[in-house]
Amino acid sequence: MPAGNDRAVGIDDLSVYVPRLFLPLAGEFSTNRGIDPGKLIKGIGIERMAVPDLHEDAVTMAAMSLLDLMRRARLRPEEIGKIYVGTESSLDEAKAMGTYVIGMLEKIYGKGSFQECSTVEFKAACIGTTFALESLSFWAALEEEGKVGIVIASDVAKYPLASAGEYTQGAGSVALLVKKNPRLLALEQIYGSFTRNENDFFRPMGCTTAVVNGKHSNQCYLDAMQGAFDSFAARAVRKGAITPGKGECITDFIDHLLFHIPYPRMVEYASAAILRHDWRQSSRCSEIEMELGTEPQSLGYEDLGKYQAADADYVRRFAKSQKFLQAFEAKVRDTAMLSRQVGNIYTGSIYLGLASLLEMQKIHAGERLGFGAYGSGCSALFFSAIVQQQAGSVPLRGLVKRLQERRQISLHDYELLHGGLMEKSVVMPCKEFALVGIDHQGYRLYEYVE
């Protein structure tokens, strides 16, 4: 897709908000929970979890990422036609989160300044934001008054204390500016999807923490990703966007693979699954079999359990093969740079992966990005985008520095915040949106604190 093409629609800019507090996983946390820190840092891949302060929630974080995006892009409220919010941390069963966000932004831009902007919430676990982006991109393509759309991801990933999910928590928000002729990425508008009813991860009404069947959730993620990838591959070939020659695979035409990142090791599992699957079309498969031995075939096993164990062992060895490690290093590893310092931010995690590549200046004009989004329950969407000529002109965000400047908190303070027992903010709000109260009807009161 040529740059400067008015028919191109996609992501023009992106902004990230992460709370100012963090808990390191190695140290007090690992000792208290009786977990080897090596497991958390290497086995899971998270070093620090972002923790929202008392005055923060998914709504304040959404408002913060939007405010930053508007300031970066010098956007005026009347230029924004729609704000779609992807979240699974909604604080109201009826009222759209975006209305609270607009209320906050109007404290800066003036009352009524967003009144022609519509807003809606997308809930589909971690894939909500991606469905929002897909929908908004089709709206943006038809928009004729020069208005732009915003997609905001905002979540607090929360599991019970001392559970296996606890060390995969995190919090943050990403706001995406979606418009015609974008500076960063033009979407190719090829979406491969997969959906299946699952009990891998859910949060029944009234619960503040998610119910998760951990190992099953990993498997659902991988199954769905493979289904969505196949669906994408078939569509990309039908549309003529990708035309593999003899011995070539779909992923040969993708320069960076960005998967949903519940924890950094998961992108390694996902890329091993997708590359192993995709490479079956090429001679690489037999070269790898020469190194590792033949892939287990289900027909060769009487017992399904034994086949699954043999296959899991093969995948583990595949993930250590030279060919895989080269591809992982070139196309995937850097996407998890920020997630290691933040943890899971649910529906924004995949775009935190994009922010990692942008901050590390790893993407270049003309490259193709393949996004593998996943949401529990479960759905996956695989789609692609082309890096635009102007991508290098979009200012960086200084995210690494911002993350280094955060305040470390004690395990005790983290547990108080987690349980809703903290009485005052650890760091008093300053130049930010803050939750200042909840009235007798449950309506939430927010202010911009100077």
Nearest residue to 318 (alpha-carbon basis) of 279, 364, 360: 279
Instruction: Among 231, 344, 356, 388, indicate the residue that binds ligand HMG (CB under 6 A).
Output: 344
- Residue 182 burial (CB count, 10 A): 26
- Residue 120 burial (CB count, 10 A): 15
Nearest residue to 170 (alpha-carbon basis) of 36, 15, 45, 63: 45
Peptide bond preceding 378: is omega within 30 degrees of 0, i.e. cis? yes
Number of residues that bind ligand HMG (CB under 6 A): 29
CA 157/CA 149 separation, integer angstroms: 26
Note whether 201 binds ligand HMG by CB under 6 A: yes
Residue 375 CA, chain-centre distance (Å), reads 10
Residue 239 C-beta: closest distance to ligand HMG, Å:
28
Q: Check: CB of residue 166 under 8 Å from CB of residue 343.
A: no
Instruction: Among 10, 165, 343, 348, indicate the residue that binds ligand HMG (CB under 6 A).
Output: 165
Window 222-261: contact mask with ligand HMG (x via CB under 6 A): --------------------------------------x-
Q: Which window, 33-41, 238-246, 273-281, 287-295, contacts ligand HMG (CB under 6 A)? A: 33-41
Give first-to-last CA distance, the chain, whole Å. Answer: 44
CA 213/CA 233 separation, integer angstroms: 30
Looking at beta carbons only, is 165 or 370 nearer to ligand HMG?
A: 165
Looking at beta carbons only, is 159 or 433 nearer to ligand HMG?
A: 159
| Sequence letter at residue 247 | G
- Specify the length of the chain in residues: 450
CA 106/CA 109 separation, integer angstroms: 5
Residue 353 C-beta: closest distance to ligand HMG, Å:
13
Instruction: Among 5, 7, 116, 164, indicate the residue that binds ligand HMG (CB under 6 A).
Output: 164
Residue 3 CA, chain-centre distance (Å), reads 26
Instruction: Among 2, 4, 27, 38, indicate the residue that binds ligand HMG (CB under 6 A).
Output: 38
Phi first, then psi, for residue 82 (nearest 5°) are -145, 145
Which token pair is 61?
């974080």
Looking at beta carbons only, is 106 or 223 nearer to ligand HMG?
A: 223
Note whether 168 binds ligand HMG by CB under 6 A: yes
Looking at beta carbons only, is 3 or 319 nearer to ligand HMG?
A: 319
Instruction: Among 84, 279, 346, 433, indicate the residue that binds ligand HMG (CB under 6 A).
Output: 346
Residues 77-116 that bind ligand HMG (CB under 6 A): 88
| Sequence letter at residue 392 | G
Burial status of residue 399 (CB atoms within 10 A of its CB: 0-12, 13-18, 19 or more): buried
Looking at beta carbons only, is 234 or 312 nearer to ligand HMG?
A: 312
Window 360-379: contact mask with ligand HMG (x via CB under 6 A): --------------xxx---
Q: Which window, 74-82, 238-246, 262-270, 285-293, contacts ligand HMG (CB under 6 A)? A: 262-270
CA 178/CA 173 separation, integer angstroms: 16
Instruction: Among 71, 107, 196, 215, indicate the residue that binds ligand HMG (CB under 6 A).
Output: 215
Note whether 336 binds ligand HMG by CB under 6 A: no
Instruction: Among 25, 80, 125, 336, indicate the residue that binds ligand HMG (CB under 6 A).
Output: 125
Looking at beta carbons only, is 267 or 363 nearer to ligand HMG?
A: 267
Sheet holding 48-51, edge to edge: 48-51, 21-24, 407-408
**Interface ranges with ligand HMG (CB under 6 A):** 36, 38-39, 42-44, 88, 125-126, 164-165, 168, 200-201, 212, 214-215, 217-218, 221, 260, 262-263, 266, 344, 346, 374-376
